[in-house]
Structure 1
Amino acid sequence: MMLWMAQQTLLLSLVCGGLLLSHRLLQQYLGAHRTYHLWLAVPTLLIGSAVVALIPYALSAIHVDQLAHYSVLASKAIATVQTTNYAELLLYIWLLGITFMATMLGLQVIGLRRLLRTASRVHNVHAQLPTYQHPKVQSPMLVGISNAKILLPTNFKNLSLDEQVAIINHEQYHHQRRDLISNLLAYCILSTFWFNPLCWLAYRRFRDDQELSCDAHVTQSLTKPQKISYSQVLLAYSQQAHHGLLHTHYGNKQILKERIMQMKTSQKGQSGLAIIALTLSLGLSGLLLNQQVQAGAHEHEAVHPVIRIEPKYPVQAVKANQNGFVQLKFDINPSGVVNNVSVIKSSPEAVFDESAINALEQWRYKESTKGQKGAKVQLDFMIEPPATDVERIKVTP
């Protein structure tokens, strides 16, 4: 699990970093709509990576040729040896971060429900969706995935008719495009990779591109005076707009200049093969890179047990003051269980074999996607540990 997370973090960093660095050029040559849709490459990459990881024919086991050595001392029997599991510690920290993110989202959902319970219905605003207003709402927003509503500030009625229509169209286009579902998916991805700073920057840029795209849709049929009026509305509402986790926000003052400048340029259409081609190329290229990373990681994957049961030193060997070793070959399934244990070589023959096999069958290795074939280990049985002042040289054939 942690290995998969590390691989996806690297790939997400490459995709998100590329989109962030090239954002200005993308806006200039593709327009707001197409640039916004390019963010589909992120979930495409993650979904494709998960599918590839679950394909049955790709789960062939890896052959391992390395030989691990462990010492078995008669004077110091250890019942169970469990290595320090740093992966488990990281897992707990990761889950703690996800819990925090889920809590923040839950608190905001509760807050929005409280606002809706005390909000008053607004009529005659030419809206297809139920529309409400509340004194605590500072800027227009769309809330509710399954039962969408528009929340407006109380000064909405003071705007001109053209300004009101533009704002309502802006929020209704969010609903038409199912942006709240996109926001939920984006927040889930952010919650999963909360530890990656690039994901936070990408999430903020994604939300800003969402607003730019809506602006392009609303203003494409407006006259120049109407665009100026719409810009004034942006200026008024963006000063106090909050960046919601799920609900739409009416922009913020950080991208206000970018949104106003966009109205002065002609926007390219919101459909076309360029969107599909670029999105798929980003997702597929990341997917191919992900397969290479997984293959490279498995080729160099070390074999270390997380639970090692110490073999029992045979009583007869202790009485006879016998030292020796057993070389074993075995397989490890994806869940880390040892099976198919066999003796390659032992000295003295058949003295330590049974004890070594019984112990090795109880060992547990870290979980993996493909498991491992042909792992090897040598257990050195010694009555006393070697002297520390004597140099030891391991000779391998």
Structure 2
Amino acid sequence: MTDFFAFSGVCATVLPSVTVVLVVVGLLRKSWRRRFGAERAYALWIMPPLALLMACLPHASGILSAGIEVPMVSAWHALPGVDAPAVLERVWITPSHIGAVWLAGVCVWLAFVALAQVQFRRRMRGAVAVNTPEVEAWLSTSALAGPVLVGVWRPRIVLPADFFTRYDADERALILAHEATHARRGDVFFLHVAQGVGALLWFHPLVWWALRAFRHDQELACDAAVLRHHPGRRRSYAHAMLKSHDSLFLPVGCTWSSRHPLNERIAMLNTTSFSSRSRRVATACLTVTVAATSMVAYAVAPSAVEASTGQTYQLAAAFEHNGTLLSPTTVCMPDHVPATIVDNGDHRVELRFVVSPVSNDTVKVDIDATEQVNGKAVTKHQSLSGPLGQPLVLENAGQSRMSITPQKGCPAAEATKTANLVSQVVDKGSARGAAMSVAMNSGFVLDNPEVLDEQPVGFGFAHLDARKALELIADIDGRTVSFSGNHARFRVK
């Protein structure tokens, strides 16, 4: 699931920028075509990939520290015999479902592209090479295969079976010039890139529109480039368009087909050529527009870790199983910055918390719980919202309960600045040995350590006040402890 969370972070970073830029391109493309010509309007499509690049650049707000360490104790192994995973057995909304839907959409998109390619290649069986001035060309055995340019590294023009009878010599020359222009500009490569982005962002409605608009603008720009070199052959160019059949759709090929809006393409043939001065003005306007849009894309993209307001929050987590209250855990972190609590026992469970302010006195806590099930890591997600200072509770059919109380600041950290803190991990050790270790490291004197049991137990704590640590050990052993100065004495409960 780590890969899915990484992908989610990427999406959250780039989608706002992509959306803004696609809206800008959609608003500008037609007016630019009228004012500066189809070629300059097509150049607007350089903005989406630049927006992706700008969105992925480092943001200053994304460089944030991790959670703040404060006194915490293992929430499950402080009391032996408690089944820790039961705390997490609530019905969760799993990110794996979302990831599976996204991956299925990618697969369907790529399968559609591959199927169209396979169908086209079937039409190419028995094709023969023909001599053309610039780009390698093949004559298909089907009247529906072509004219089209295919191939990224080795561009080839595919011509329909009736190419030499359907079109006259002038029309054939213009069609070949059109496909050769696509080849010189690398348009097939850009179509592959566009399909790849579409597969990844298939869920974005503007991406579907953008693919159609991009192909349309690409064809209009190619028409304009050909007629700029053959200004006196507009009538022959229009006749060639009208004679073209609906060829097979090819997502990654530059097709000469009436699938592209034919009325608009023919109407564009009647526009006057643009002067070199107009083209220079258009280039200057395009440069300014691209620069401004790129800066906007950078500004609207959140950092990979959403910008923190600088507010620190403390989460006090308490766990209960079958009526037994487990030892609490406390952790502090800035808003939007994850902090993790890990149970290092035999059944590893990791809780990842992210706090986000909703209002001045309300927060949302996102919890990602990862546990090992049959040797595999399984991640589940839950979100809780509520007021500061009030417990946010998750329950599992009355058997287990997790309570999280958020607070502003980090009171626990302030309370431990002058405390005598100790850390201890006991794996098959004894309560007596643990108590003696704490006393040795903290300066306490144990008056009667012999009363503590020497049976193997397992528990752990980190950065805990020495008095609290001895109380915890005594509680595990079924005893209480009293203090007199730096002396500690254990008693039966």
Same topology, TM > 0.5 = yes
In structure 2, distance between residues paired with 1:100 and 1:281: 36
Q: Which has the higher helix share?
A: 1
1:18 aligned onto 2:21: no
Matches within 5 A, 1:124-273: 126-138=132-144, 139-158=146-165, 159-224=167-232, 226-237=233-244, 239-253=245-259, 255-268=261-274, 272-273=283-284
Contact 1:27 1:35 in 2 (8 A): yes
In structure 2, distance between residues paired with 1:302 and 1:104: 48
Contact 1:102 1:191 in 2 (8 A): yes
In structure 2, distance between residues paired with 1:324 and 1:105: 55
Larger-Rg structure: 2
Contact 1:208 1:251 in 2 (8 A): no
| 1:251–1:114 CA distance, 2 compared to 1 (3 A) | closer
User: For 1:240-297, what per-residue CA distance to the aligned partner results, in whole angstroms no more than 9, with x for missing partners?
Assistant: 1444210111143551111111111124467734333323332332122114796458
In structure 1, distance between residues paired with 2:200 and 2:53: 13
Deviation at 1:144, TM superposition (A): 1.1
Partner residue of 1:61 out of 61, 65, 80: 65
In structure 2, distance between residues paired with 1:141 and 1:7: 37
Letter in 1 for 2:291: L
1:106 aligned onto 2:114: yes
1:284 aligned onto 2:295: yes
Letter in 2 for 1:209: D
TM-score normalised by the chain length of structure 1: 0.71
Unaligned runs of 5+ in 1: 66-70, 342-355, 386-393
| 1:15–1:395 CA distance, 2 compared to 1 (3 A) | closer
Contact 1:143 1:247 in 2 (8 A): yes
| 1:216–1:311 CA distance, 2 compared to 1 (3 A) | same
| 1:163–1:367 CA distance, 2 compared to 1 (3 A) | farther
Contact 1:170 1:214 in 2 (8 A): yes
Contact 2:38 2:221 in 1 (8 A): yes
Matches within 5 A, 1:217-366: 217-224=225-232, 226-237=233-244, 239-253=245-259, 255-268=261-274, 272-291=283-302, 295-296=306-307, 326=328, 328-329=330-331, 338=340, 362-365=349-352
Contact 1:329 1:377 in 2 (8 A): no
In structure 2, distance between residues paired with 1:10 and 1:395: 30
| 1:301–1:165 CA distance, 2 compared to 1 (3 A) | farther
Deviation at 1:179, TM superposition (A): 0.6
Deviation at 1:230, TM superposition (A): 0.6
Letter in 2 for 1:329: V
| 1:296–1:266 CA distance, 2 compared to 1 (3 A) | farther
User: For 1:334-393, what per-residue CA distance to the aligned partner results, in whole angstroms no more than 9, with x for missing partners?
Assistant: 997736x9xxxxxxxxxxxxxx9979x94232799xxx9xxx99899xxxx9xxxxxxxx
Deviation at 1:178, TM superposition (A): 0.5
Q: Which residue of 2 aligns with 1:36?
A: 42
In structure 1, distance between residues paired with 2:256 and 2:314: 53
Contact 1:331 1:338 in 2 (8 A): no
Letter in 1 for 2:330: L
Deviation at 1:143, TM superposition (A): 0.8
| 1:38–1:298 CA distance, 2 compared to 1 (3 A) | farther
Q: Which residue of 1 aligns with 2:426?
A: none
| 1:396–1:167 CA distance, 2 compared to 1 (3 A) | closer
Q: Which residue of 2 aligns with 1:344?
A: none
User: For 1:211-239, what per-residue CA distance to the aligned partner results, in whole angstroms no more than 9, with x for missing partners?
Assistant: 00000011113344x201110111221x5
Contact 1:325 1:378 in 2 (8 A): no
| Secondary structure, counterpart of 1:103 in structure 2 | helix
In structure 1, distance between residues paired with 2:108 and 2:261: 28
| Secondary structure, counterpart of 2:37 in structure 1 | helix
Letter in 2 for 1:59: I
In structure 2, distance between residues paired with 1:395 and 1:2: 26
Task: Identify which of structures 1 and 2 has the higher relative contact order when contacts are C-alpha pairs closer than 8 Å and 6+ apart.
Answer: 1
Residue range with higher mean Cα deviation, 176-185 or 214-223: 214-223
In structure 2, distance between residues paired with 1:302 and 1:231: 68
Contact 1:137 1:151 in 2 (8 A): no
| Secondary structure, counterpart of 1:142 in structure 2 | strand
Contact 1:142 1:148 in 2 (8 A): yes
Q: Which residue of 2 aligns with 1:351?
A: none
In structure 2, distance between residues paired with 1:58 and 1:395: 23
| Secondary structure, counterpart of 2:330 in structure 1 | strand
Matches within 5 A, 1:371-390: none
TM-score normalised by the chain length of structure 2: 0.58
Deviation at 1:189, TM superposition (A): 0.7
| 1:63–1:38 CA distance, 2 compared to 1 (3 A) | farther
Unaligned runs of 5+ in 2: 1-6, 70-74, 356-365, 367-388, 399-404, 409-493
Number of equivalent positions: 344
Q: Which has the higher strand share?
A: 2
In structure 2, distance between residues paired with 1:19 and 1:290: 18
Q: Which residue of 1 aligns with 2:438?
A: none
| Secondary structure, counterpart of 1:151 in structure 2 | strand
Contact 2:314 2:406 in 1 (8 A): no
Letter in 2 for 1:227: R
Deviation at 1:27, TM superposition (A): 1.1
| 1:170–1:254 CA distance, 2 compared to 1 (3 A) | closer
In structure 2, distance between residues paired with 1:249 and 1:276: 30
